[in-house]
Amino acid sequence: MSNEHAANGHGHADPHAHGADHGHGHDDHIHPAPTNPLFKYVFSTDHKVIGIQFLFSGLIFFVVGGLLAMAIRWQLAWPWKPMPFMARFMPSWAENGYLMPPEWYNKLFTMHGSVMIFFVIIPLLTGAFGNFLIPLMIGARDMAFPKLNMFSYWFMPPAMIAMANAFMVPGGAPESGWTSYPTLSNSFTSTPGSYEAQTWWLISLLFAGVSSLMGSINYITTIIMLRAPGMKLFRMPMTVWALFITAILQAFALPVLTSALVMQLLDRVAGTNFFSPAGWVVANGPAVVGGGLPLLWQHLFWFYSHPAVYIMILPGMGMVSDIIATFSRKPLFGYKPMVFAIAGIAGLGFIVWGHHMFQSGMNPALGATFMLSTMMIALPSAIKVFNWLGTMWGGRLQFTSSMLNAISFVAMFIIGGLSGIFMAATPVDMHIHDTYFIVAHIHYVLFGGSTFAIFAAIIFWFPKMFGRMMNEPLGKLHFLLTFIFFNGTFFLMHIIGMHGHPRRIADPTVYEYLRGTGTMGLNQFMTLSAFGLGLSQLIFAFNFLYSIFAGPKAPANPWHANSLEWVATDSPPPYFNFEKIPTVYHAPYEYSVPGMENDYVPQTQPLPEPTAHTVVEKA
Amino acid sequence: MAHAAAIPVNPGTLATSGPKVQGPPVTAGKVAMWLFLATEIMFFTGLIGTYIVLRAGSPATAYSDKFSPNQIPKDVAVVAPDAKLYNWPLPYDAHTNPLSIDLTAFNTFILICSSVSMVRALAAIQKGDKKKLTAWLFVTVLFGSFFLGVQVYEYRSLMFEHIYPKGVSATGHFTPDVSLFASCFFTMTGFHGAHVAGGVFMLICLLLQSLRGTYTQTHHSSVELIGLYWHFVDLVWIILFTVVYLI
């Protein structure tokens, strides 16, 4: 009854919902393509263009975050040696012989973490692939709210500018880590980076958060409302399922971070007392009335940021599931358990935040419950890993560069997942808390996991995005070098972490037990590997940029996959996505169906009768 | 872009041949509005949860009728044996609590009335009565603006006009920095006030549209959606009023 354009913002409200038998499709009208390049490529409402905008800005920030990491590694391997190239950028370091000032190390890891998490991994996974893939995979012409989608991208540039500005304000970039714990973060006088830059950091994250919120509301609504005829929930590709559950996580967890960011911002600019202790003075700064609880920030922050680590891995899991099934030419092993496992991880993700705070002075009894719930996450994670292995088992594996990245996602996720269980156990955590062990863990999950998934997904969907194929030999070379250098960089961190090497320390040699050639030798080896890792990405960058302009033209379905974006439209798709909204007959994993001519059955093609019965039931 | 294909014809007829679509029988706008309200609930949960935790964690000697918040001497039992100590300002206790519950109770009543008038507005247009829609929207805008006016008046007297006893504030004025209670009060009511202001702005847009006769019996989902938001803002206030003023 109330299906008006005015409120829906757009006429894409589902045309078929009201009755299949009288095709009143006026709601499904197709807008003419914008001709003005400003609206075609910049302020576009087309989900594909917005997805590619997120992709490019994410990759640009990936370079920024990577360079920050290189600087961190330089300092760790050769503490207080003049940093190469920096003379040109840092004239103020001249008096110090171009040595890095100690607080600069804190700025580096703070900004490395913030940039990589809030401007690379989350925007790439949910912004780029969420936008690009959801409408194409469920058979919709666009998102439910294309304008809201445009705004969700254009809330990112203010966030990026605020974050970049944080480098330039007096005192330099923030120094309180990407977790931004008070009391370091909420007093102007605690460190140079807290003088002004911390405020910009908070503003930046507020903008990025609003962008994510708009995106996730849009994704959920789109998936609920705009699925093509026949696209039942349990016929959706795993990618869509993962993005759907991720969007729910984001919608429910992120507002809490927003409230925490607002409170820290008010603490800094309006003199409120949420996170400052009673009668608190720092470094001869002005006294505050205080009375608040610094620990409260940690609870609020991790209430978002633990679900956020699943926001950063679940979309990767979904995409890897699709990629592995496609290149194994086998149905995904255990489709429904995979969905429930993702939902289980997401659900448990809300009740485990305290495992970040075992050593914070939190009540140990509370820590025990967090330990238990955290360890329960191993169950759905193991279901996923075994199902990926089950999918590959006995398949006709095609080792394309995309598949290699996807397989290494599975392998690295196992290592990252296992080291996570170490941390989850409170007694073990006492030893490895705040050491390089946790740094190894987070990078095995976020680089070994999410970033390999991003590489796999970029190569896999590149033909759909740009209509051209990426170069396979270069892709394999990039994969091989990345894989080797990645492990060379991060695996050794487990070892020095067990040895007690603290994280977030500019100069490990201040400690006697870290001064030896063992630790420092490993540090130097890791740094060389990290430089190799950074240089290997040049191959990817070249392959990516060259292929956009000069790669071989891609057919509509180069990988012989089943889901709608491959079988129902061109590469790249027209702005209206589908000439006809396709009809879906089964889940997208019908590979190697016995008795069929091809080894894949597109979702738009009904299964032959006897097979249809058995396969659909199984799915 | 290699799509030389002509703009396709309306595909609505396709639904007759294939299986039916799987969407639920609601509009996308409503789904999105409920999701938005869910995010808002989580945002206010963050604020209210913070309030509860901070209040529970506030030491028993944080407030007193004789000393400024958090500036009570350690040897208070010797220095001022008759001083009353609280962990949090109590309602109607003029020594520590500057809030006027009577004024805000009246204001709460006004906001609840505005929810009623919003319901009447929606009911009117559902019957196709455009004039009543305009009238009730006008009443809702009036109530909403009145609520905001009272809140501004309250803030002004708290922050600038009245001089409060020591137990409320060391400076004599009740501003966000004088105590934890003040920080919580201004943040929670301030964000709620901002939501009311946004709601009043949207209601004014609705009112202008309804004056132009945009909404009809079958075409009024904006009224419904903004009504949902307005009721949400009202509900949040009832919780905030209870938590901040009454308990």
Higher pLDDT, B9 or A578: A578
Q: In angstroms, what separates the C-alpha of B58 from chain A's closest C-alpha?
A: 7
Are the beta carbons of A17 and B21 separated by less than 8 Å? yes
Q: Is B247 helix (H, G, I), strand (E, B) or coil?
A: coil
> Which residues does chain A have within 8 Å of residue B220's beta carbon, measured at their own beta carbons?
2, 4
Q: Measured between CB atoms, which of B47, B59, B221 is closest to A4?
A: B221
| Mean pLDDT for the stretch of residues B94-114 | 94
Torsion of CA A193, A196, A197, A200, to 10 degrees: 160
Q: In angstroms, what separates the C-alpha of B34 from chain A's closest C-alpha?
A: 9
Number of structural domains in chain B: 1
Q: In angstroms, what separates the C-alpha of A198 from chain B's closest C-alpha?
A: 19
- The answer for residues whose C-beta is within 8 angstroms of residue B227's C-beta and 6 or more apart is B118, B119, B121, B122
- Looking at chain A, which residues constitute the CATH 1.20.210.10 domain(s)? 49-308, 313-553
> Which residues does chain B have within 8 Å of residue A293's beta carbon, measured at their own beta carbons?
53-54, 57
Are the beta carbons of A8 and B71 separated by less than 8 Å? no
Q: In angstroms, what separates the C-alpha of A422 from chain B's closest C-alpha?
A: 30
- The answer for residues whose C-beta is within 8 angstroms of residue A505's C-beta and 6 or more apart is none
Q: Is the dihedral of CA A578, A579, A580, A582 positive or negative?
A: negative
Select the residue from A231, A259, A263, A297 to test the B interface by mutation, using most B Cβ atoms within 10 A.
Answer: A259
Are the beta carbons of A253 and B42 separated by less than 8 Å? yes
Report how far residue A336's alpha carbon sits from residue A323's, in angstroms, rounded to the nearest whole number.
17
> Which residues does chain B have within 8 Å of residue A226's beta carbon, measured at their own beta carbons?
23, 28
Are the beta carbons of B39 and A229 separated by less than 8 Å? no
> Which residues does chain A have within 8 Å of residue B18's beta carbon, measured at their own beta carbons?
229-230, 583
Looking at chain A, which residue has its C-alpha nearest residue B187?
A263
With a cut of 70, which residues of chain A have pLDDT below it? 1-31, 87, 609-619
Q: Measured between CB atoms, which of B50, B175, B221 is closest to A263?
A: B50
The pLDDT of residue B19:
42
Are the beta carbons of A229 and B54 separated by less than 8 Å? no
Q: Is residue B178 part of a domain?
A: yes
Q: Is B243 helix (H, G, I), strand (E, B) or coil?
A: helix
Select the residue from A221, A570, A571 to test the B interface by mutation, using most B Cβ atoms within 10 A.
Answer: A221
CA atoms within 13 A of residue B78's CA, in its CB half-sphere: 3
Q: Measured between CB atoms, which of A25, A255, A575 is closest to B10?
A: A25
Q: Measured between CB atoms, which of A4, A229, A253 is closest to B20?
A: A229
Are the beta carbons of B3 and A574 separated by less than 8 Å? yes
Are the beta carbons of A289 and B225 separated by less than 8 Å? no
State which CATH number among 1.10.10.10, 1.20.210.10, 3.40.190.10, 1.10.3720.10 fits the domain covering A49-308.
1.20.210.10
> Which residues does chain B have within 8 Å of residue A20's beta carbon, measured at their own beta carbons?
15-16, 20-21
Ranges A281-290, B14-23, B60-69: which has the least confidence: B14-23
Are the beta carbons of B47 and A583 separated by less than 8 Å? no
Are the beta carbons of A225 and B31 separated by less than 8 Å? yes
Q: How much is the mean pLDDT over chain B?
A: 88
Domain A313-553: which CATH class?
Answer: mainly alpha
Q: Is residue B224 part of a domain?
A: yes
Q: What is the CATH number of the domain that holds B224?
A: 1.20.120.80
Report how far residue A197's alpha carbon sits from residue A114's, in angstroms, rounded to the nearest whole number.
13
Which single residue is written with the structure tokens 């979904």? A318
> Which residues does chain A have within 8 Å of residue B73's beta carbon, measured at their own beta carbons?
none
**Surface-to-core class of residue A530, CB atoms within 10 Å of its CB (0-12 exposed, 13-18 middle, 19+ buried):** buried
Report how far residue A66's alpha carbon sits from residue A58's, in angstroms, rounded to the nearest whole number.
12
Are the beta carbons of A579 and B18 separated by less than 8 Å? no
Q: Tens of pLDDT along B164-221?
A: 998 888 888 999 999 999 999 999 999 999 999 999 999 999 999 999 988 998 889 9
DSSP E strand stretches across chain B: 63-64, 85-86
Which single residue is written with the structure tokens 């014809």? B9
Per-residue pLDDT at B11 exceeds 70: no
Are the beta carbons of B54 and A291 separated by less than 8 Å? yes
Q: Is residue B19 part of a domain?
A: no
> Which residues does chain A have within 8 Å of residue B185's beta carbon, measured at their own beta carbons?
none
Report how far residue A167's alpha carbon sits from residue B174's, in angstroms, rounded to the nearest whole number.
36
Q: In angstroms, what separates the C-alpha of B194 from chain A's closest C-alpha?
A: 14
Looking at chain A, which residue has its C-alpha nearest residue B179?
A289
Helices (H) and strands (E) in chain B, counts: 6, 2
Q: Is residue B191 part of a domain?
A: yes
Q: Is residue B31 part of a domain?
A: no
> Which residues does chain A have within 8 Å of residue B176's beta carbon, measured at their own beta carbons?
266, 270-272
- Evaluate whether A12 touches A140 at the Cβ level (below 8 Å): yes
The pLDDT of residue A19:
36
Q: In angstroms, what separates the C-alpha of B210 from chain A's closest C-alpha?
A: 13
CA distances from B236 to A72, B36, B43, B48, B223 (A): 46, 14, 11, 10, 20
The pLDDT of residue B210:
93
Q: Is residue B196 part of a domain?
A: yes
Report how far residue A478's alpha carbon sits from residue A541's, in angstroms, rounded to the nearest whole number.
10
- Evaluate whether B218 touches B127 at the Cβ level (below 8 Å): no
- Evaluate whether A47 touches A143 at the Cβ level (below 8 Å): yes
The pLDDT of residue A188:
87
Are the beta carbons of B15 and A229 separated by less than 8 Å? yes
- Evaluate whether A277 touches B27 at the Cβ level (below 8 Å): no
Are the beta carbons of B17 and A583 separated by less than 8 Å? yes
Q: In angstroms, what separates the C-alpha of A617 from chain B's closest C-alpha?
A: 17
Report how far residue B102's alpha carbon sits from residue A161's, in angstroms, rounded to the nearest whole number.
46
Looking at chain A, which residue has its C-alpha nearest residue B43?
A255
Strand (E) or helix (H) holding B135: helix B130-156
CA distances from A207 to A148, A152, A244, B31 (A): 14, 10, 22, 23
Per-residue pLDDT at B145 exceeds 80: yes
B246 φ/ψ angles, rounded to the nearest 5 degrees: -90, -35
Enter the tokens of residue A596.
């069929």
- Evaluate whether A119 touches A160 at the Cβ level (below 8 Å): yes
Domain housing B186: 94-246
> Which residues does chain A have within 8 Å of residue B5's beta carbon, measured at their own beta carbons?
574, 579
Q: In angstroms, what separates the C-alpha of A165 from chain B's closest C-alpha?
A: 27
Q: Measured between CB atoms, which of A221, A291, A575 is closest to B179?
A: A291
- The answer for residues whose C-beta is within 8 angstroms of residue A540's C-beta and 6 or more apart is A455, A475, A478, A482
Looking at chain B, which residue has its C-alpha nearest residue A12?
B28
Are the beta carbons of A30 and B8 separated by less than 8 Å? yes
> Which residues does chain A have within 8 Å of residue B70's beta carbon, measured at their own beta carbons?
278-279, 289-291
Looking at chain A, which residue has its C-alpha nearest residue B170?
A289
Q: Measured between CB atoms, which of A144, A271, A467 is closest to B176?
A: A271
Q: In angstroms, what separates the C-alpha of A595 from chain B's closest C-alpha?
A: 24
Q: In angstroms, what separates the C-alpha of A213 from chain B's closest C-alpha?
A: 8
CB atoms closer than 10 angstroms to residue A168:
11
B182 φ/ψ angles, rounded to the nearest 5 degrees: -65, -40
Are the beta carbons of A266 and B50 separated by less than 8 Å? no
CA atoms within 13 A of residue B146's CA, in its CB half-sphere: 17
Q: Measured between CB atoms, which of B3, B15, B183 is closest to A273?
A: B183
Q: Measured between CB atoms, which of B20, B70, B220 is closest to A278?
A: B70
